[in-house]
Amino acid sequence: MKILAIESSADETAAAVVENGTKVLSNVIASSTAMHEKYGGIVPEVAAREHLRSIIPTIDEALSQANVDMSAIDSLAVTVGPGLIGSLLIGVETAKTVAMATGKPIIPVNHVLAHMYANFIENTIAFPAISLVVSGGHTELFLMKSEQDLEWLGGTLDDAAGEAFDKTARLLGFGNQGGVAIQQAAKKSLPITLPRPLMHDGSLNFSFSGLKTAILREWKKQETHSEKFIQSLAYEVQEAITDVLVAKTLRASEKYKAKSILISGGVAANLRLRKKLPSAIAPPINLCTDNAVYIASYAFFRGKPVDWHELTAVPDLSVEV
Ligand code: KG4
Ligand code: ZN
């Protein structure tokens, strides 16, 4: 079964063709991240305009790289939320048009739940599994009893872990490069200690907004910001975030007697997190950040086709399944 998936929830326009949920025939991503650099974050209107420009060429390229045409595609899949309304609409309306024109089934996909199916591409998962989805907008823990059976266990009460990385990166002068820049700069030479919010509270929730305030306090304490200070702050931020993520994931794993631990989402690309959770299954780095491969994979394992007339973008689509 070959699925053509489309993803446009943030600033990446992506399309992919995946066979039986695991065999990647193509994976094409056009990003407008660089265009948002001078604004210090994603500008929704700019992202939407870029999606509009890129979406057809991206789909064409995904079919061409997979060496198939539409007649070989069994089903379409598209991200319907959560995400930016202007961005989502471009993907959803394009997918509806293709469904109408070709008569192919179409599967709506929840972007956040889909992230965890990046783990299915190269791995066989033993259930029950604990799955941490950690991205720019989400930090969520799920219990996976099977490929289809998900239960939301907890999530962030305020900011996502990726947001904490991104805001710190901007403060330290790394622009929109986010967590990767923090990872590259991280080097301990000066003693800085940041809090590990909710680490020992016994719940499966997270909170990262207090950490942001603490980081700002450290920054303001110094009159000048030497390279050593920036490296040390980057180090401690990465330690604080990853310590909390690891502690909560392991707690969930013990509580539910998990046979495997999965991590996914952009922050799962973080090498320190991967090192601190050696037993966890993680997608290849390029499948952690946004792409359409896991959209197709989710659609294969858990998706249900709908009539294209019923497909709508839902910017605040819930992840609490
Ligand atoms: O999953 P994703 O591409 O988009 C969302 O769905 O949000 O995640 C993007 C997030 C950003 O916050 C980015 O800074 C973070 O993933 N990220 C990283 C790394 N690579 C991407 N955070 C820490 N370390 C990394 N290596
Ligand atoms: Zn994402």
Could you read off the pLDDT of 270-312 as tens digits, one per residue? 999 999 999 999 999 999 999 999 999 999 999 999 999 999 9
Rounded average pLDDT per 10-residue block, the chain, 321 residues: 97 96 97 72 86 95 97 98 97 98 98 98 96 97 98 97 96 92 96 96 96 96 95 98 98 98 98 98 97 98 97 97 93
CA 301 to chain centroid, in Å, comes to 18
Residue to probe by mutation, ligand 1, list 133, 135, 295, most atoms within 8 Å of CB: 135
**CA 302 to ligand 2 center in whole angstroms:** 18
Give CA–CA dist 133/152, Å, rounded: 11
Buried residues in 226-260 as b, exposed as e (16+ CB within 10 A): eeebbbbbbbbbbbbbbbbbbebbbbbbeebebeb
Tell me which residues have their CB closer than 6 angstroms to ligand 1: 10, 135-137, 162, 165-166, 178-180, 183, 265-267, 269-270, 289-290
Give CA–CA dist 169/173, Å, rounded: 6
The CA–CA distances, whole Å, from 6 to 17, 33, 154, 183 equal 9, 18, 28, 30
Q: Where are the alpha helices (DSSP H) in the chain?
A: 33-36, 44-66, 85-102, 111-115, 161-171, 178-185, 209-221, 227-255, 271-276, 293-302
- What pLDDT, on a 0 to 100 scale, did the predictor assign at position 23? 98
- What pLDDT, on a 0 to 100 scale, did the predictor assign at position 57? 96
DSSP state of 239: H
DSSP state of 299: H
For residue 112, give the ligand 1 atom closest to its CA: 6
**CA 177 to ligand 1 center in whole angstroms:** 9
Burial class, 312, CB count within 10 angstroms (exposed 0-12 / middle 13-18 / buried 19+): middle
Residue pair 51/31 in contact by the 8 Å Cβ criterion: no
**CA 65 to ligand 1 center in whole angstroms:** 26
pTM of the model: 0.96
